[in-house]
């Protein structure tokens, strides 16, 4: 499976630089966590100021970042794996931030200009993105979209070429983003009045209300597509949704009656 970017890299950079609000409306906040994620790299640059892999996900864009060790370990790769109690995740966008001195040519030499993104889960490793670009900006957060409809435990970034030094790359900060689901109403059905189980699930999802209310039921996949819909369902009797054929990922369950709506995240494994 190979999924391509739907927009040019240049237009994506312009989108994020000129319209950060639009990006924020479409995607979640950064879902990485240096303290709990499993972060690995081909190597880490050792010196008076170490450049460790975990620094690429520590939300520090000023003091430190990750760099591979000079030498034969190029192409250089770094990966982020979600812990078992969090992942897998459907990442649909990512960002890089490369800091440096604008007047120092060495800062530009380390900037990546060619890389691939792969996702890994129990089904294997899949190519999600392949980027080649000639314009990389220093001290600017650059974001890129993925046409990805699957949830992966691990995301692997491999850098094949830099702007100047062929064997060394430097990333100050990286971020990963999920689709953002925005509720259409502020009224919420009490979640204590409805049982939803099991969650996570890989086969059947059961929904049962403690009352005899009638609800419209929708299940939305990680890329915003409705994969199940049932109107005027009486949840006093248990409703079961067969999820066996659905792709892995974080889904959104919507339960709506005449007055209110309930939103619940469902992890399908």
* Residue 21: predicted pLDDT: 42
Helix ranges, 48-207 (H): 105-109
Secondary structure element (H or E) that encloses residue 23, with its range: helix 20-26
Contacts of 84 (CB under 8 A, 6+ apart): none
What's the pLDDT score for residue 13?
36
Return the CATH class of domain 9-177: mainly beta
Architecture of the domain defined by 191-268? Sandwich (2.60)
Residue 118 and residue 125 in contact, taking contact as beta carbons nearer than 8 Å: yes
DSSP label at residue 147: -
Strand partners, 253: 219, 264
What global pTM score does this model have? 0.62
Measured between alpha carbons, how far is residue 55 from residues 37, 45, 98, 229 in Å?
12, 12, 12, 43
| C-alpha–C-alpha distance, residues 152 and 200, integer Å | 15
49: left (phi over 0), alpha (psi -120 to 50) or beta: beta
pLDDT for 185 equals 43
| Cβ contact 162:171 at 8 Å | no
pLDDT digits (tens, 9 = 90+) for 152-196: 999 999 998 888 766 788 899 999 998 875 544 444 444 447 888
Give the whole-angstrom CA distance, residue 185 versus residue 262: 9
Q: Which residues of the chain have pLDDT under 50?
A: 1-22, 183-192
46-66, pLDDT tens digit by residue? Answer: 877 789 999 999 988 877 899
State phi, psi for 51 to the nearest 5 degrees.
Answer: -115, 85
Q: What is the pLDDT of residue 186?
A: 40
Provide the terminal-to-terminal Cα distance of the chain, rounded to the nearest Å: 19
SS3 141: coil
> ∠ at Cα 157 (155, 161), nearest 5°?
170
Tell me which residue of 139, 134, 59, 135 sits closest to 101, measured CA to CA.
139
Three-state SS across 224-253? CCEEEEEEEEECCCCEEEECCCCCCEEEEE
Alpha-carbon gap, residue 203 to 245, rounded angstroms = 8
Q: State the pLDDT at residue 87.
A: 79
User: Looking only at Cα atoms, what is the longest distance across the chain?
Assistant: 70
Domains of the chain by residue range: 9-177, 191-268
Distance of CA 246 to the CA centre of its chain: 19
In sequence order, which residues have a C-beta less than 8 Å from that of residue 189 and are 6 or more positions away? 255, 257, 260, 261, 262
């Amino acid at each position: 499976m190979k999924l391509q970017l739907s927009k040019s890299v240049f237009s994506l950079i312009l989108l994020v630089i000129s319209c950060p609000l639009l990006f924020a409306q479409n995607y979640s906040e950064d879902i990485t966590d240096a303290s709990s994620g499993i972060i690995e790299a081909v190597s880490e640059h050792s010196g008076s100021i170490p450049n460790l892999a975990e620094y690429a996900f520590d939300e520090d864009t000023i003091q430190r970042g990750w760099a591979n060790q000079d030498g034969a370990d190029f192409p250089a790769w770094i990966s982020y794996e979600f812990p078992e109690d969090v992942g897998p995740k459907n990442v649909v966008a990512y960002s890089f931030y490369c800091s440096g001195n604008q007047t120092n040519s060495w800062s530009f030499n380390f900037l990546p200009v060619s890389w691939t993104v792969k996702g890994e889960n129990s089904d294997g490793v899949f190519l999600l993105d392949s980027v080649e670009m000639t314009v990389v900006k220093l001290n600017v957060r650059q974001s890129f979209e993925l046409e990805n409809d699957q949830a992966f435990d691990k995301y692997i970034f491999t850098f094949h070429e830099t702007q100047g030094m062929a064997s060394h790359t430097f990333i100050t900060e990286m971020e990963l983003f999920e689709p953002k689901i925005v509720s259409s109403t502020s009224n919420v059905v009490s979640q204590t009045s409805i049982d939803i189980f099991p969650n996570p699930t890989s086969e059947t999802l059961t929904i049962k209300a403690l009352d005899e209310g009638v609800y419209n039921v929708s299940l939305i996949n990680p890329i915003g597509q409705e994969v199940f819909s049932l109107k005027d369902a009486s949840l006093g009797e248990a409703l079961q949704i067969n999820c066996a054929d659905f792709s892995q990922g974080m889904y959104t369950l919507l339960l709506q009656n005449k007055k209110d709506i309930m939103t619940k995240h469902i992890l399908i494994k």
